[in-house]
């Protein structure tokens, strides 16, 4: 599922854009008529993000927000090459920190 496609810069009216090959849409029809954006990662690279249209707008909005958050978190982590695997020791430390912590039921009812 990790196919690469060549794109070309082109003039669209008074603006500039990128032309995606027909093969892209044949293999990924969910992106036809979808919106997206380009995120510049460095002076010589960028990522094109296309968000497929979904039938359920509320779930789609939640899904988009989660993707945006995860993409942001990953981008920030990769900036300084600080990504580390989550170890069993880290998990045990976290469990020790929250051992015995109880949540107030009223705070759960408020939302």
pLDDT of residue 61: 64
Domain residue extents for the chain:
1-53, 57-100
pLDDT of residue 30: 85
Q: What are the backbone dihedrals phi and psi of residue 45, each rounded to the nearest 5 degrees, phi first?
A: -150, 150
pLDDT of residue 91: 94
- What is the pLDDT tens value at each position of the chain, 111 positions in all? 457 888 889 998 889 988 888 898 888 888 888 888 888 888 888 888 888 766 555 566 667 788 888 888 878 777 777 677 889 999 999 999 999 998 887 655 555
pLDDT of residue 37: 85
Cα–Cα distances in angstroms (integers) from residue 4 to residues 1, 11, 22, 86, in the given order: 9, 22, 13, 30
The number of CA neighbours under 13 Å toward the Cβ of 83 is 8
């Amino acid at each position: 599922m990790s196919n690469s496609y060549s794109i070309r810069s082109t003039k669209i009216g008074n603006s500039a854009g990128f032309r995606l090959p027909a093969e892209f849409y044949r293999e990924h029809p969910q992106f036809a008529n979808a919106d997206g954006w380009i995120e510049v990662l460095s002076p010589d690279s960028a990522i094109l993000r296309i968000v497929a249209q979904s039938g359920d707008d509320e779930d789609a909005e939640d899904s988009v927000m989660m993707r945006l958050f995860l993409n942001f978190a990953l981008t920030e982590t990769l900036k300084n090459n600080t990504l580390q695997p989550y170890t069993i020791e880290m998990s045990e430390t976290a469990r020790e920190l929250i051992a015995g912590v109880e949540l107030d039921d009223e705070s759960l009812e408020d939302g």
